[in-house]
Amino acid sequence: MPFAHYLIDIAICLRRLTWLPLPADPSEEGRTFEEACWAYPAVGAGIGGVAAIAYLAAHGLGLAHGVAAVVALAASVAVTGAGPERALARAAGALVSPRGEDDAPGAERTLIALALVVLFRATAIAAAAGTGAVGGILIGAAAIAYACQLAALHAAPDREAETPPRPPLGAVAAGLAIAAAISLLVLPQGWLAAVIVAGVATGAVIYAARRPAASSARRTLPAVLALAEILVLLAVIASP
């Protein structure tokens, strides 16, 4: 595949996963989402890199770990539009409210869940900073999480109008290999634990979503990304 196609694939995934104002539509070059989605973990590593730079800059200015973690999370949210956090919050709200966000109590629960997700993720980033090499941890965690999201898209039980096409198995395998390689290079510790924890969590969510009459569970599939990233951070923190 020509090198230009790799760049186009990354641009396609950037357009889908971030709020970055990319100028031209890469699909005009004949590349489809199914061909480009292998780049999910590469784009995820880039998003993690943005958070890492923000954290290191804030900490370099003398800010405490907790404040620097909030700055890192804010940078990530600015790039992604808080899509992963909102997906996890909606999933949590759907699990505790039969009607999801359609009723006022359900909307309130979703907002509370969103606040808890943001707080928990910021706390996890601050705790990861205490293990050293926080930049590598954020990059590796994001790469693994986006690969898990790619696997969840492939295993989705049905396709809806607003969901992207199903990634082919080859693209999923390539994405998982890229995420494994990136995380192996940048994670200072707990690589195997991080991969296992994220994989088990993704498999559990997919299994729940594929069960018969699991319409509410299917809402949890978009939440795989934020859930896997948080669990990877926790796995790295807990590793000796």
For every residue of 126-170, DSSP letters joined together read HHHHTTS-HHHHHHHHHHHHHHHHHHHHHH-SS--TTSPPPPPHH
Geometric angle at alpha carbon 169, from 221 and 14, rounded to 5°: 65
Angstrom CA distances, 226 to 37, 77, 168, 223, stand at 18, 12, 22, 6
pLDDT of residue 5: 78
Q: Which of 31, 35, 43, 45 has the alpha carbon at shortest distance from 171?
A: 35
* In 25-153, beta strands by DSSP E: none
CA 171 to CA 164: how far, in whole Å? 14
With bands split at pLDDT 50, 70 and 90, how would you rate the model's confidence at 180? very high
Kindly state the percentage of the chain with pLDDT values over 90: 42
Lowest mean pLDDT among 46-55, 73-82, 149-158, 227-236: 149-158
User: Is residue 132 within 8 Å of residue 157, measured between CB atoms?
Assistant: no
pLDDT digits (tens, 9 = 90+) for 33-60: 888 999 999 999 999 999 999 999 999 9
* Stronger pLDDT, 113 or 77, i.e. the higher one: 77
Dihedrals phi, psi of 132, to nearest 5 degrees: 90, 160
Q: Is the pLDDT of residue 26 over 60?
A: no
Burial of 168 from C-beta contacts in 10 A (0-12 / 13-18 / 19+): middle
Angstrom CA distances, 31 to 8, 44, 92, 104, 228, stand at 7, 20, 35, 42, 28
Q: How many domains are contained in the chain? A: 1
CA 225 to CA 182: how far, in whole Å? 17
- Using a cut of 0.85, tell me whether the model's pTM lies above it: yes
Q: Range of 205's domain?
A: 3-238
pLDDT of residue 129: 79
CA 202 to CA 225: how far, in whole Å? 9
pLDDT of residue 158: 62
pLDDT of residue 39: 95
What three-state secondary structure class fits 182?
A: helix
pLDDT digits (tens, 9 = 90+) for 119-130: 888 898 988 877
pLDDT of residue 215: 54
- Taking only Cα atoms into account, the Rg of the chain, rounded to an integer number of angstroms, comes to 17
CA 152 to CA 201: how far, in whole Å? 11
What average pLDDT score do residues 94-105 get?
Answer: 55
User: Is residue 118 within 8 Å of residue 86, measured between CB atoms?
Assistant: no
User: Is residue 145 within 8 Å of residue 233, measured between CB atoms?
Assistant: no
